[in-house]
Amino acid sequence: MGDLLVLKGIIKDYGSTRALNNVSVSLKTGKIYGLVGENGAGKSTLAKIISGSVHADSGDVIYEGITLNYLSPQKARELGISIVHQSGDLAPNLSVLDNIFIGNEQTRFGVLAKNAMRNEAQEVLDNFSVEMDLDQRVEELTTAYQQITTICKALTVDMKLLIVDEGGASLDRQDLLKMFEVLRKLASQGVTIIYISHLLDNVIELSNEILVLRNGNLVTTLDANNIDVSQLSKHVVGHEVVMDSQPRLLADIIGKKERIKLQDLAYQGGKHGYTFSVREGEILGITGPVGSGKSELLRCIYGLNPHSSGSVYIDDTEVTGIGPKELVKKQVAFVPEDRFYEGLAMLRSIEENISLPNLWKLPGLKLNKKQLTKSAGEAAHLGKIKMSSLDQRVTELSGGNQQKTLISKWLTGDYNCFLFDEPYLGIDVGAKMDINNVLEGLASQGSSVIVTSTEFSDLIGLVHRLFVMVDQNIVAELEGDTITNHNVVTNYQSRLGV
């Protein structure tokens, strides 16, 4: 099994920040390599250099024995290098079929061969055993199915090297296993795969070898068959990682004011109404597989998805269907699942993004630049954003620091109700701990918090109560020391028929 790709002494600087420092590695044909590291370790930069969208400042990229002096994204595709970016690279207003073949359209006698493209796209989907409407617009899909669309796009070209950057971040276990099956099949056919993820258990499960980046340095290469998550976490961060797993006591919030209250609230197209409340100082978690309804419920609470019946109350005032603009004025904050399309202005600065929710408060829309900068700086500090300055563009940040920026937007005002939809997608264990510290701080100040996560282990030790949602049903309500992996899995399996 020969070397497909050899990197020698790769160095990349962004201003005064060194993203990659003398990285050298050889990748063999037909093997699956996990690439792990904290946010900002250099994973995405390395992937972009290999795929031609970023050029190294020094060092050699040797592909199939040939040194590539200049590599563009188009040239990379011609050489058989494909990448599935963390942000998806999809055209949201076009159909699934159109997105799969953008830049790779098939023609016959100068006319688009639509039937041939449809048949090929359907064959790729069948390999996933995934049912999707090829004519549906991408913006109407969940994040999980947008990711599947991106992977299908990569699978329609003749590949020798496939880079998957956080491809499984929002997939449930069933869809993740389908994706792994396809990736393993590709590897068996001689395709080399680089799989980038912060979900270390998934990386171990899929990979043959694991490359660990830390602060731009390739610190070690590990045999995936001889390491566990705890050991890999230590390699990633450089020290032991201890996550708080002590249960939160429901007694701490009993008798406190009900801040968020739902009365038989049903979202349009949903099967059921939901009735529950969240008290001052409480963190309520909702977990469930992709498509279980947890994201749709939060979006309905915030007026982004229409409701079909029922009511929402904030501090005993009915706010059903009034929309995000008015809910912001009532101190309700919402962090969406998709930070790229809905959460952030990627080409704007950190300061501009953090300031956005509070512009409506300015008298006559007269900007007090000094005050905005001061508030943004304080929020960035609370959110523990790693940045060169407040003027840095969000697109230049790592995924974890982008997510921290999205959360920090809501740390500048007097918000007391927070809705977090999948805040842990695509971020490392250190960033998760920072975000959990923010959520705990909000609750300690009396705010009410609802947080969803497909990865239920993210919520254990954080929440006072945990709803398990399957097929739009809340099948279990766990609290205190009953919030365990075993109890969550048991409820999953009993309702999914596993």
> DSSP assignment of 410-471, as one string?
GGSS---EEEEESTTTT--HHHHHHHHHHHHHHHHTT-EEEEEESSGGGTTTT-SEEEEEET
Instruction: Look at residue 291 in the predicted model and tell me its pLDDT.
Output: 78
In a domain, residue 220? The reply is yes
Instruction: Look at residue 242 in the predicted model and tell me its pLDDT.
Output: 54
Phi-psi region of 426 (alpha: psi -120 to 50; beta: other; left: phi over 0): left
Q: What is the CA radius of gyration of the chain?
A: 23
In a domain, residue 243? The reply is no
Q: How many CB atoms lie within 10 A of CB 55?
A: 13
Q: What is the pLDDT along the chain (498 residues), one digit of tens a residue?
A: 689 999 999 999 987 778 899 999 999 999 999 999 887 788 989 999 999 989 999 999 999 999 988 889 889 988 999 888 766 678 889 999 999 998 888 888 888 888 999 999 998 888 767 788 999 999 888 766 787 788 788 888 788 999 998 766 667 677 788 788 888 988 998 999 999 988 888 899 999 999 999 989 999 999 999 998 888 888 887 765 555 555 565 657 777 899 999 999 999 988 889 999 999 999 999 998 777 899 999 999 999 999 999 999 999 999 998 989 899 989 999 999 988 888 999 999 999 999 988 777 766 656 778 888 999 999 999 999 988 899 999 988 888 889 999 999 999 878 999 999 999 887 777 788 889 999 999 999 999 999 999 888 889 889 999 999 988 889 999 988 888 878 887 876 655 544
Are 171 and 296 part of one and the same domain?
no
With a CB cutoff of 8 Å and minimum separation 6, the contacts of 394 are 344, 345, 346, 347, 348, 349, 350, 353, 402, 405
This prediction's pTM: 0.70
Confirm if 488 and 456 have CB atoms less than 8 A apart. yes
Are 151 and 14 part of one and the same domain?
yes
Q: At what angle do helices 369-382 and 399-408 cross, to 10 degrees?
A: 120
| Rounded Cα–Cα distance for residues 1 and 64 (Å) | 12
In a domain, residue 245? The reply is no
Instruction: Look at residue 393 in the predicted model and tell me its pLDDT.
Output: 93
In a domain, residue 230? The reply is yes
Choose the final residue of a domain: 193, 214, 237: 237
| Rounded Cα–Cα distance for residues 101 and 110 (Å) | 16
Are 55 and 173 part of one and the same domain?
yes
Q: Nearest 10 degrees: CA dihedral of 155, 158, 164, 167?
A: 0
Are 449 and 381 part of one and the same domain?
yes
Q: Which residues pair with 25 in a beta bridge?
A: 7
In a domain, residue 10? The reply is yes
Are 343 and 406 part of one and the same domain?
yes
Number of H helices, E strands in the chain: 15, 22
What does the block give as tokens for 149?
């669309």
Are 288 and 159 part of one and the same domain?
no
Are 439 and 300 part of one and the same domain?
yes
Q: How many CB atoms lie within 10 A of CB 289?
A: 20
In a domain, residue 318? The reply is yes
Instruction: Look at residue 230 in the predicted model and tell me its pLDDT.
Output: 84
Q: State the DSSP code for 208.
A: S
| Rounded Cα–Cα distance for residues 198 and 167 (Å) | 10
Instruction: Look at residue 413 in the predicted model and tell me its pLDDT.
Output: 79
Choose the final residue of a domain: 237, 259, 288: 237
Instruction: Look at residue 191 in the predicted model and tell me its pLDDT.
Output: 92
Q: How many domains does the chain have?
A: 2
Sign of CA dihedral 218, 238, 439, 278: positive
Are 382 and 440 part of one and the same domain?
yes
Give exposure, 370-385, as e/b (b: 16+ Cβ within 10 Å): eebeebbbebbebbbb
Are 233 and 187 part of one and the same domain?
yes
The runs of H, that is alpha helices, within 284-428 are: 294-301, 324-329, 350-355, 369-382, 399-408
Tokens 């796009």 locate to 153
Domain enclosing residue 456, as ranges: 250-496
Are 149 and 117 part of one and the same domain?
yes
Can you give the CATH number for the domain in which 481 is found?
3.40.50.300
